[in-house]
Structures are given as C-alpha cells and as structure tokens.
Amino acid sequence: MNKKLYITTAIPYVNGKPHIGHALDYLLADIWARYQRQNGHEVRFQAGTDEHGNKIAAKAAEAGIEPKAYTDSTYVNFENLMKKVGASYTDFVRTTDPHHMQSVQYIWQKLQPYIYKGSYEGWYCVGCEAFVSDKEAAANNGVCPDHNQPYQRLSEDNYYLKASAFTDKVTEAIKSDQIKIVPEFRKREFLELIKDGLQDVSISRPKKSLSWGIPVPGDPDQVMYVWLDALSNYITVIGYPDQSVWQDYWPADVQVVGKDIMRFHAGLWPAMLLGLGLELPKKLLVHGMINAGGTKMSKTIGNVVEPNQVIDEYGVDAFRYFFSRHIPTLEDGDFTWEKFESAYNTELANDLGNVIQRVAGMITRYQSGVIGEVPEGEHDMTAYHNAMENLEFDKAIDEVWLMIRSLNQYIENVKPWEIAKKVGKESEAEAHLTEVLNNSVGALIQIGDLLVPFLPAVAEKIHRVFKSGSIVATEGVLFPRIYKHTTDPNAPKA
Ligand code: MSP
C-alpha cells in the first residue's frame, strides 16, 4: 500500500541572510521527497522559520524595530530560498504563527507532569540558544567554539523539563534504531554523549532576560525557551493537536538536521514526544557542515556563500547537482567557486549536456528525428536505490554519473557516425545504427528517471526530448560553459 510519508527540515533562525548551509537542509529533504513521490507515495514536506529567542530580539533591537516586524521582513528570504532551490515543500510554518503559538501552549500544559520549577546558575550561549554545563564551558575556555562568543553567566528561576525521566526510553530507542540516526557514527557519538543520562532541560526564561518568546501559560513572568517552541513545529505544522489529520503523518519518516543540532533532536525532542505520549520519529538524517575554502563560513572572514548568487549564475539544477554530489550527504563538505565551476563544466556540460545533444543530433540527422522501438534502460540500479534508501544521496547520484559516462563511452566505441556512412552500402548497417541509437535513447530515458529527485528540470527536459517518439528540439544549449571562476590559464575568458 502506498503510505503517507512525512519529512521535516530544521527551521532556521531568521536573524541573517540564508546561506548554503540552510539550502542544504531543504535540498536533502527535497531529494528524498521527490524520490518517494516518484515511487508513488504521498509525501508531506515541512519547512519553516524559527523566529523567537534572544538572537532575533537582539537583531531587531539593532535594526531599531519590534521583533515581529523584523521577522516579518526576514523570514521571506528563507521561504524564497526554498522556492529557488526547487524544494517541493507542502507546509511552511513560522513560529510566530498564532496556530503554532497556541499549540505550543497546549504542549506546555500537556507536559505538566514532567515540568518543575527550579533555579539555574550557569552558562548560556546565545548563538546556540542553549545552556552549557560547567564542564563544557571550562573545556572551551569560556567561549563557544561554534559561535566564537563568550558564554553568559546566568542566575535565574526557570521551569525544567524532566528529561532525565526518559533516559532509558530514549537510549533504548536510539540503540535499537527505533529512531535510526544516520549515519551510524553520529548514533554512537550521541549515545556516548548521553551515557550518564539525559539532563533535565531548562525550558523557560524569566521575561526580564527574554521577552521575545511564547508566554508560559499561567506565569506572566516567564517565556518559553526557544528550543521547546521550535521543536514543536514538526507537529504543530501538520495540525497538532486540534486537526486530527496530523495523525496520518506523525511519526515523521525522516527528520533532516545538521550535526550541530543533533543533540536537540535526539535528546530533548524525543523526551518531549514521550512526555506528550506521542510516537518517536523513525529516522534522523544528520548531515555535516559545509565550509567555504576549508574554513567555516563567517561574516567576519567574509567567506559566506550565498545560495542565491550560485543559482543566479549557474542555474538551479547546477546548484542541486553540486550540493547533492560534491557535498557528501553525511559528512562535512567544502565549497569553492572553482570546484563548483569545474564540476559544472566537466560533469554537467561535458558529460551530461553533450550526450543529450549528441544523441538527439544523430537521431535528427540519420533518422529525421524519428525514434524507433526503445528498449528499457537495462542498467542495474540496485546500488542507486540502496543508496537512496540509506540516505546517501551523494552515492546515488554517483551511480547516475557512472551510467552517463558509460553511455558516452559506448557511443565513442560504437561510433554511430561511422555506421551511418555504411547505410545503403552494407545490408546490416541501417538496422545496426537504429539499434545503437535506440539503446542510447533507452539509457537516456533511464538516466532521466534517476535524475528526477536530483535535477528535476533536467530530467523533465530529457523526457521531453526523447519520450514522445520523435526528437523534440531543445531551445539553447543545456549547460552552456561558464568561465567566471576558473584558475585554468587556458580557459576562455568569461
Ligand atoms: N533554529 C535552529 C533549528 C531549530 S529546528 C527545530 C537552528 N537554526 S540555524 O539557522 O542555525 O540552522 C538551521 C539549519 O542549517 C541546521 O540544520 C544547521 O545544521 C544548518 N546549517 C547551518 N550552517 C550550516 C553549514 N555551514 N553547513 C551545513 N548546514 C548548516 O539551528
């Protein structure tokens, strides 16, 4: 039976411009969603923006406007980016949406048996929006390594979630792959992190320290901790608790997050779900970080890569290609304009663009554009499908390129243009030429099918050109060569 599926992405803070790291979340989720839909499943795909917390409040203050006015003006950059990368999301949530806020207040009430009041004295990183233990703060010499900012010393009354009550259940769920953390080494890393148990989590802040958040029901002096608010989006966006349709989709099949926020998704979030009596998500796809030229992207260094610029210069399919294949799905990756452009010119323009143009050209020339009986592509794609199931999208698209290369090789070896010269002179030549061209079309259609999740526009183009029985000419070159960032002295000038 075709099941209803649900995939989620981390909701970014809207206190800056989107960068390629944010786009990666959307892209990975989109590849999975398109693959599942291609296989006949209905997929719900959530995205959204995280709009509360100190970080946002501080930015709004800098801009001299109210936080809500600030997020109204910035969230749209993220939604536009989702559209621009071609993400086929079905739902978009802002944590400032009234439905979300009311639902989170309901969640708070429902978690009451596990909430208690206590006082906190210790360290907080505004960048992470997280409390850190004395041990961690000392190990990092008082400065958060991810945000390069000193921890703040806090002393305040907070509400706590008794996450410790769920240590055994959460540990067991992760160990047994009930929540399957992909890749396996992240699962081990997380189990190691919680080997002494889950710690209770502070889930509110006094209003005087944090005014920009969802009010705690029944306590006008307290505001909810931004992670409790943000994690809830995964269920509020599908209608929890008031629209029963959420039950058709929860538990999520896959939740896509970066490694920096795995601990919230593998610890606090399952504890919240257990406290609510809800099922645990099935898989957590933990991707790595993208660096730029070997260093972490940072505004100070000035090496932040804007996805909009990449897409404007090279097109969305080139963007999707590089980030799905050359950024390893489950490990850290690196972006440079040179690497990007070289992959574009050699692998998209040369390998893929050429073979499409070449086969279409030969059929037009030798068969007046008429495509004969096309055999099914016969390439064994088990490795591709296994990689897709294992959430190793980079490996899956590698398989497609192996196939593209072998098709190019086949054409080089068989030399249809030589066979064409023999047509009318040798009796077998015409049939042989047709067979070669039809085999090539069969392979290209299969390549088109396999590219649907990755490069939807190119896949559609391949299908349009080759699937109707006669060649449908394309407008322009598929991937015109671009030399803007090359270091090759022999390359043509841009
Ligand atoms: N708001 C929280 C997430 C709440 S989810 C309930 C947050 N926001 S974020 O803007 O900092 O990050 C959003 C996503 O982008 C995360 O999955 C994060 O890992 C990812 N990335 C941020 N920088 C990244 C790179 N440089 N490379 C790859 N992904 C990165 O955390």
* Nearest atom of ligand 1 to the alpha carbon of 297: 26
CA 12–ligand 1 middle distance (angstroms):
6
Residue nearest to atom 24 of ligand 1 (CA): 21
Contact 112, 72 (CB under 8 A): no
**Contacts of residue 473, Cβ cutoff 8 Å, sequence gap at least 6:** 360, 364, 465
Question: Which runs of consecutive H residues, i.e. helices, occur in 452-492?
Answer: 456-466
d(CA 279, CA 270): 9
Choice from 7, 8, 9, 13 to test ligand 1 binding pocket (greatest atom count within 8 A of CB): 13
Give residue for tokens 């070449």: 358
Tokens of 120: 């906190």
Burial class (CB in 10 A: 0-12, 13-18, 19+), 36: buried
pLDDT band at 2 (very low <50, low <70, confident <90, very high): low
CA 259–ligand 1 middle distance (angstroms):
9
Q: What is the pLDDT of residues 176-234, one digit of tens each?
A: 999 999 999 999 999 999 999 999 999 999 998 888 999 999 999 999 999 999 999 99
Q: What percent of the chain has pLDDT over 70?
A: 99
**48: closest CA among 256, 261, 275?**
256
Residue nearest to atom 16 of ligand 1 (CA): 258
| Cα-to-chain-centroid distance, residue 240 | 24
Q: What is the pLDDT of residue 147?
A: 86
Q: What is the pLDDT of residues 317-367, one digit of tens each?
A: 999 999 999 999 999 999 999 999 999 999 999 999 999 999 999 999 999
Q: What is the pLDDT of residue 351?
A: 96
Q: How confident is the model over 425-448, as a mean pLDDT?
A: 95
CB atoms within 10 A of CB 431: 12
* Nearest atom of ligand 1 to the alpha carbon of 50: 1
Residue nearest to atom 10 of ligand 1 (CA): 12
Choice from 24, 285, 327 to test ligand 1 binding pocket (greatest atom count within 8 A of CB): 24
Q: What is the pLDDT of residue 178?
A: 98
Q: What is the pLDDT of residue 120?
A: 87
CA 324–ligand 1 middle distance (angstroms):
17
* Nearest atom of ligand 1 to the alpha carbon of 231: 6
Residue nearest to atom 9 of ligand 1 (CA): 12
Burial class (CB in 10 A: 0-12, 13-18, 19+), 206: middle
Return the active site residues: 19, 22, 125, 128, 144, 147, 296, 299
Q: Which helix (H) or strand (E) holds 368?
A: none
| Burial letters 228-267, b for 16+ CB under 10 A, else e | bbbbbbbbbbbbbeeeeebeebbbbbbbbbbbebbbbbbb
Q: What is the pLDDT of residue 208?
A: 87
CA 10–ligand 1 middle distance (angstroms):
6
Residue nearest to atom 22 of ligand 1 (CA): 21
Choice from 79, 260, 268 to test ligand 1 binding pocket (greatest atom count within 8 A of CB): 260
Residue nearest to atom 8 of ligand 1 (CA): 12
| Residue type (1 letter), 194 | I
CA 364–ligand 1 middle distance (angstroms):
48
End-to-end alpha-carbon separation of the chain, Å? Answer: 53
Residue nearest to atom 15 of ligand 1 (CA): 22
Higher pLDDT among residues 372 and 319, named by residue:
319
d(CA 227, CA 281): 17
CA 370–ligand 1 middle distance (angstroms):
50
d(CA 187, CA 284): 9
Q: What is the mean pLDDT of the chain?
A: 94
CA 13–ligand 1 middle distance (angstroms):
8
In the structure, which protein residues have their CB atom closer than 6 angstroms to any atom of ligand 1? Answer: 10-13, 21-22, 24-25, 50, 230-231, 233, 257-258, 260-261, 289-290, 297
Tokens of 267: 């610890």
Give residue for tokens 């080089």: 412
Contact 209, 126 (CB under 8 A): no
* Nearest atom of ligand 1 to the alpha carbon of 10: 5
Question: Torsions phi, psi of 334, nearest 5?
Answer: -140, 140
| Burial letters 5-33, b for 16+ CB under 10 A, else e | bbbbbbbbbbbeebbbbbbbbbbbbbbbb
d(CA 484, CA 494): 5
Question: Torsions phi, psi of 197, nearest 5?
Answer: 105, 160
Burial class (CB in 10 A: 0-12, 13-18, 19+), 46: buried
**35: closest CA among 388, 460, 439?**
388
User: Is it the case that residue 494 has pLDDT exceeding 60?
Assistant: no
Burial class (CB in 10 A: 0-12, 13-18, 19+), 107: buried
d(CA 448, CA 459): 4
User: Is it the case that residue 3 has pLDDT exceeding 80?
Assistant: no
CB atoms within 10 A of CB 166: 22
User: Is it the case that residue 1 has pLDDT exceeding 60?
Assistant: no
CA 293–ligand 1 middle distance (angstroms):
19
Q: What is the pLDDT of residues 160-179, one digit of tens each?
A: 999 999 999 999 999 999 99
Residue nearest to atom 21 of ligand 1 (CA): 21
Tokens of 492: 């043509």
SS3 category, 222? strand
Q: What is the pLDDT of residue 477?
A: 81
Q: What is the pLDDT of residue 487?
A: 73
In the chain the domains, ranked by start, together with CATH numbers, are 337-466 (1.10.730.10)
Q: What is the pLDDT of residues 52-100, one digit of tens each?
A: 999 999 999 999 999 999 999 999 999 999 999 999 999 999 999 999 9
Contact 292, 305 (CB under 8 A): yes
Answer whether the bond into residue 150 is a cis peptide, omega within 30°: no
d(CA 134, CA 295): 28
Q: What is the pLDDT of residues 250-293, one digit of tens each?
A: 999 999 999 999 999 999 999 999 999 999 999 999 999 999 99
Give CA separation, 171 vs 181, 194, 234, 250, 257, in Å: 12, 8, 21, 21, 19
Choice from 257, 303, 324 to test ligand 1 binding pocket (greatest atom count within 8 A of CB): 257
